[in-house]
Chain A
Amino acid sequence: MTGKENFEPLDELFRKTFQDLPATPTASGWDTPSPRVWQGVQSQIKPASTGWALQTWALLAATAVIVAVGLYFTFGRTEPAPAPTPLPIEQPIAQPPTVESAPKEAAPATAVEKTSAKPSGKIRPSTTTEPRPNPAVNSSTPRGAENRGSHQATPLPGSNPAAPNSTEREKEGKGN
């Protein structure tokens, strides 16, 4: 292979010739491309965007959505309201079943409890007061004496009436 110096004049000729060309196109036009080149380039490059680019609009829309969601979770979401406390309903005090012959205060507690245990279908406020037997009455009068007077079954003829309970039996025993 021949040394590099043998071709240096050749390289220099081509290098200088092509690098020292004037800035302006030559008169012959050999270094001027035809107009079709620019037309081809124009058809390929993207047209100038009018107004804001699509990406800008997409970015704005995404930002707006994020802000809206953030505001919703910050301010728009209210705490769940506590369950409303049922207002006390004024209800008539449950009346024990009417017993014609028995006074109310002497009514047996069991009767009152049975009555109050009946489903009334309405919420019964806890403040409802139950008629309670008077302790003073209980201490002087044997409990249920009046009741037995009115509700005691008539003994069958010829039967030995048994004392209704131990208290009565005691009383009867003392009396005897």
Chain B
Amino acid sequence: MQQYSDQELVSGVLRGNPAHQSALYQQYSVPMFRVLLRFARDRAEAEDMLQDGFIRVYRDMGQFRSEGALGGWIRRIMVNTALSHLRKQRDFIRDVPDFSAFESKLRTEEDFASNMDAETLLTYIHKLPPGYRAVFNLYAIDGYSHEEIAEQMGISIGTSKSQLFKAREYLKRILDKSFIS
């Protein structure tokens, strides 16, 4: 497939050129799908997010300003799309009071038999409640601050900190004895 620069992709998409539309998708679908897989509970939901996200990318391409990287702009759209999906879920922000029930889901032999590659870590993330998952992704991996998370998710800063702490606790309990500390 022909490689285009970001500027060529943008101008081509704005003209409605199918070749540029396809090239943009081919160039950014995999990295964006990796991001969305961390926010979704499963692969199917991540694909729904990816489809909605790319539709917004093509629709809003006229708003892209060339000061920043196209990839960063698309990534922000994808994260916003993921959060919109998560907000629609009834248990988006909730506590999991019974930690043992949650822990029992993860403590299986196959969970710890893996070598902790991205695909394996993804399975752990998918088992977190949506709010924990979103806050952990935004803070620990994507580098958002609690203020930014609170604004993006429509929650308080205290809630963001609380959700992050609990997410870490869950993940650490799974991993600490074997791989961490």
Contacting residues of chain B (33-50) with chain A, CB-CB under 8 angstroms? 33-34, 37-38, 43, 46-47, 50
Complex CA–CA separation, A25 to B37 (angstroms): 14
- Chain B residues with Cβ below 8 Å from A44 are 51, 55, 58
| Residue among B38, B54, B116 making CB contact with A13, cutoff 8 Å | B116
Contact A31 B30 (CB under 8 A): yes
| A31 (CB) vs chain B CBs: closest residue | B34
The distance in angstroms between the C-alpha atoms of A2 and B46, with both chains bound, is: 32
Q: Give every chain A residue within 8 A of B116 (Cβ-Cβ).
A: 13, 17
Interface size classification for chain B: 35 or more
- Within 1-49 of B, Cβ neighbours of A (below 8 Å) are at 15-18, 21-22, 25, 29-31, 33-34, 37-38, 43, 46-47
Q: How far is the CA of A25 from the CA of B161 in the complex (A)?
A: 34
Query: If the complex has contacts A32-B33, A37-B51, A48-B17, are A10 and B121 also in contact, measured as CB distance less than 8 A?
Result: no
Q: How far is the CB of B170 from chain A (nearest CB, A)?
A: 10
Question: Is A45 touching B21 in the complex (CB atoms < 8 A)?
Answer: yes
Tell me, yes or no, whether A46 is within 8 Å of chain B by CB.
yes
Does A57 sit within 8 A of B, measured CB to CB?
A: no
From known contacts A28-B119, A31-B33, A46-B16, infer whether A10 and B180 are also in contact, taking CB-CB under 8 Å. Answer: yes
Interface size on A, residues (CB 8 A): 35
The answer to whether A41 touches B38, judged by C-beta atoms less than 8 angstroms apart, is no
Interface flag for A80 (CB, 8 Å): no
- When chains A and B are docked, how far (Å) is the Cα of A82 from the Cα of B47? 80
Whether the pair B180, A9 counts as a contact (CB closer than 8 A) is: yes
Across the interface, do A25 and B181 meet the contact criterion of CB distance under 8 Å? no
Cα(A85)–Cα(B169), bound, Å: 108
Given A2, A10, A28, A30, which contacts B175 in the complex, CB threshold below 8 Å? A10
Residue A19 lies at the interface, judged by CB distance under 8 Å to chain B: yes
Contact A10 B171 (CB under 8 A): yes
Contact indicator B37/A31 (Cβ below 8 Å):
yes
Contact of B58 among A15, A19, A36, A45 (CB under 8 A): A45
Residues of A within 8 A of B47 (CB): 33-34, 36-37
| Contact present for A13 and B165 (CB under 8 Å) | no
Question: In the docked arrangement, what's the CA distance between A49 and B121, Å?
Answer: 44
A156 to B51, CA, bound (A): 132
- Complexed CA–CA distance, A46 and B179 (Å): 49
B168 an interface residue at 8 Å Cβ cutoff?
Answer: yes
Instruction: Give A18-46 as 1s and 0s: 1 = Cβ < 8 Å from B's Cβ atoms.
Output: 11010111101011111011101110111
A142→B121 CA distance, assembly (Å): 145
Closest Cβ neighbor of A38 among chain B residues: B25
Is B118 part of the binding interface, using a Cβ–Cβ cutoff of 8 Å? yes
Q: Is A54 in contact with chain B by the CB < 8 A criterion?
A: no
Q: Does B59 contact A (CB under 8 A)?
A: yes
In the assembled complex, the Cα of A46 lies from the Cα of B58 at a distance in Å of 9
Distance (Å) between the CB of A61 and the closest chain B CB?
Answer: 21
Partner pick for B30 among A9, A25, A34, CB 8 A cutoff: A25
Q: B69 contacts the other chain (Cβ, under 8 Å)?
A: no
Bound Cα distance from A169 to B153, whole angstroms: 131
- Residue of A10, A21, A30, A48 most packed against chain B (CB within 10 A): A10
Cβ–Cβ < 8 Å partners of B46 in chain A: 33
Encode A38-78 as 1/0 by CB contact (under 8 A) with B: 10111011111100000000000000000000000000000
Given contacts A30-B43, A33-B47, 4 further A-B contacts (CB under 8 A): A30-B119, A31-B33, A47-B16, A48-B21
